[in-house]
Amino acid sequence: MAGAADQRKKEEERFFVERFLRGAGLEFAAEDHERPDFVLSHGEFRVGLEVTRIFHRARPESMPRQAVETLRDRVIREARQSYVAAGRPPVLVSVLFNSSAGFGKSDVSRLASKLFELVLRNFPEADSRTEEEYDWLNRDWFPEEFLHVSVSRFSFLMESYWSSPDAEYAPNCSADSIQERISEKASKFSAYASAFPECWLLVVADDFRLSGSFQFPQETLEHVYSSPFSQAYLLEPFRSRVHPLKSRPVLQNLTSNRQTAATQFDRSV
C-alpha cells in the first residue's frame, strides 16, 4: 500500500517538474533521484531539484484540507476499481461528499464498498442519467458521508470517469507560509548538497486541488526569502506559471552557487 502511495507521489512530482520546465522555458532533461527528488541536466550542466508542496493551513481541531482530499480520492479510486473489475459498462460518476460528516482511513474501504453498491443501485439505462441523495430514510444503503451521487451512461464513453466536485475560497498565501516550506527543506539541505553542490527548490501550489489553490499577493512574490538553495521557484501547475523567488543565502559560501543558477536560468529562457 505504501509502495503504491509512494509511486503516485513520485508520478505527481514528475508531472510538476514537467510543468515547471515548460512554464519556465527551460530545456532540461529530468531524471528521478532521491535526496534531492530529481536531477536536471542540460549538456554538461547538472543540478539537483527538490520538490515540496504548500497547502492551506488547517483550521483549529479540523483535518487538513489535503488529508480530506486524499481520503476522498481513495474512496472514489477503490470504488471505481471494484466497478471496473466487475466488468460493468463505462459510466460518469459524480460524488458529493458531506463536509459535516468526516471520516478516517479506517472508513475508506467501507465507504468505497457502499459507493460501488450505490452506483450499481442507480445504474441508468443507455444514454441517460440517474441520481440519489441522502435523506435519512435511505440511510441503510446511503451513508451520511455522501450527500449526492449521480451516474450517467453514454454510448460514446470508452472508460469510466469518477469524480468529486467541490468548491472553496482560494486564500492569500503569505510570505511566512512559503518561508516555512523553504526552512523545512533547508534542514535537509546538507544531504542534497552532498549529491549536487548546485541544488534548486521547487515549491508547488497545486492549483489542480482546492487545498493547494492560492492567491499570491505581490508582496509575497517580491519577498526576499532565506534559503540555502541556489535558486527557489514557486509553481502553479494548472497554469504552468513559474515565479522565481528572490532569496538571500543562509550560508555565505552559497552566494556563488546562486549566481551560477541565476545565470543558467536567464540563458535558458
Q: In the chain, which residues fall in CATH 3.40.1350?
A: 2-56+171-268
CB atoms within 10 A of CB 43: 8
pLDDT digits (tens), the chain, 269 positions: 557 778 888 999 999 999 999 999 999 999 999 989 999 999 889 999 999 999 888 776 677 888 898 999 999 999 999 999 999 999 999 999 998 888 999 999 999 999 999 999 999 999 999 999 999 899 999 999 999 999 999 999 999 999 988 766 788 999 999 999 999 999 999 989 888 889 999 999 998 888 888 999 999 999 999 999 999 999 999 988 999 999 988 753 444 444 444 444 454 44
Look at domain 2-56+171-268 and name its CATH class: alpha beta
Supply the pTM of this predicted model.
0.67
Give the pLDDT of residue 61: 64
